[in-house]
Structure 1
Amino acid sequence: MAVSYMDFTSPSVQFTYDLKNNPFFQKDSRNYIDALGIQQLNTLGNVSLLNIFLSTGNVVEPHIHQNASELVFCISGAALVSLINPFTKQLLNFQIQPGQVANVPQGWWHYEMATVDNTQLLAIFDAPVPEFIPASDMLRLTPASVFAHTYCLDEAKVKNTLAPITDTVVIGPPSSCHRELDQDYAQIPQQQARSYTQPSFNGQIGNGWSYPAPNGYGGGYGLND
């Protein structure tokens, strides 16, 4: 537990909280995230969590938490947790089902995709305020000319490809995307996945964990200012 300066005799001390009171992001009624941090439960130590609900093919977009490790626990459904090992330069895919976990070390690039409907994941962090840098922000805020120059690409094609990304995605594809979800994409070939068993932008973000800022993942990509 982190060092606590909480006055446990204070009338404002909190020991319980209902996560439904703190929606972090909502894409629709089947794809949303509730959050718990020290802002919601002031007796927390060095821990926080996200309660994630996803339907088939929906993805918590690629991102990093530069100040926290993440333990992903599958409560229901099934998910593919993918991460890049920065030391081996390998993309690792882990299929998890209820009762199984996947661990993402601090600062590693990763994402989670539901492979069946009614998937619920609990993401637990070893920080009271996990920082969050999403791919959608890096792609939309970096000038196309920089990508084109750095990687010897056609600037017009880069700009055209990235133009639809106009805001932070969080859960993709955005609700403004009208093409059908690629169901086959969620079925990673067995040789690519390690499995324990065979198995608009219309989102709203808010209540202390809102992103973008001021009182959420924004403002330096932290949960507080």
Structure 2
Amino acid sequence: MINPILQSPNVQLAADSNAVVNYQRDPRNYVTQLFGAQLPTIENGFFNVYLSKGIIVQPHWHTNVTEMVIVIRGEVTTSVFNPFTRERITYHLKPGQVSVFPKGWFHWFVAETDDVHVLTIFDQPTPDIVFGADFLAATPPEVAHRAYCLDEEAYARAVASIQNDAILGPPIGCDTAVSDLSTQPSNAPKPTKGSRD
């Protein structure tokens, strides 16, 4: 069956993928998008992600899509948690290299150089996103204590500063040096196995 949108005399087959800003941390770190709302004929969707060195796309997962990350410029380290082996898989990617995050798998990526441009393509026109920040902030301290024996007061203090809408981190004003042991580089495209978490 032919898509009725394609039969329209005013069918739109082009759009500017930088016209809609999805999120902006600062002038050098931001995300633009192109999804069905901007281009009704599209059968997938994507983000342009622009990053400076050390910036992370916060840990998250998608309930309805598989994501493919393509490095256009710069270098990134991608990490994904394999729910079957319970291990983290990490890749260091350079321009032209690709990483895939299967639907429902927890993942993140970090800019290893300045002036990074990454294209993240989804296999559906609109992704559902569950952010790790939302999950942490919604977990009551008493549950963290009961489940993991974490100190309730310390947990409450730790999650109190989480900015749920901070897609790119660390948040502005964070006085902690940017470091992530999960981003130890490997020679792409060979994976490195992380510690069992």
d(CA) in 2 for partners of 1:3, 1:23:
31
TM-score of the pair, normalised by structure 1: 0.79
The one-letter amino acid paired with 1:8 is: Q
d(CA) in 2 for partners of 1:106, 1:59:
20
1:1-225 maps to which residues of 2 (within 5 A)? Answer: 4-11=3-10, 13-45=11-43, 47-182=44-179, 185=180, 188-190=183-185, 193-196=186-189
d(CA) in 1 for partners of 2:2, 2:85:
35
1:162 deviates by: 1.1
Contact 1:114 1:186 in 2 (8 A): no
Deviations 1:75-126 (A, max 9, x none): 0000001001111111000011001000111110000100000011000000
Helix, strand or coil at the partner of 1:49: strand
d(CA) in 2 for partners of 1:130, 1:73:
17
1:4 deviates by: 3.2
- With 151-160 and 67-76 compared, the bigger mean Cα shift is at 151-160
User: Given the superposition, is the C-alpha separation of residues 50 and 152 from structure 1 closer, same or farther in structure 2, using an over 3 Å criterion?
Assistant: same
List structure 1 segments (4+ residues) > 4 angstroms apart after TM superposition.
Answer: none
Q: How many residues are treated as equivalent by the alignment? A: 190
User: Given the superposition, is the C-alpha separation of residues 187 and 154 from structure 1 closer, same or farther in structure 2, using an over 3 Å criterion?
Assistant: closer
TM-score of the pair, normalised by structure 2: 0.89
Contact 2:29 2:50 in 1 (8 A): yes
How high is the sequence identity, in percent, across the aligned residues?
A: 33
1:167 deviates by: 2.9
The one-letter amino acid paired with 1:57 is: G
Contact 1:58 1:173 in 2 (8 A): yes
Residue 194 (structure 2) aligns with: none
Contact 1:57 1:186 in 2 (8 A): no
The one-letter amino acid paired with 1:145 is: E
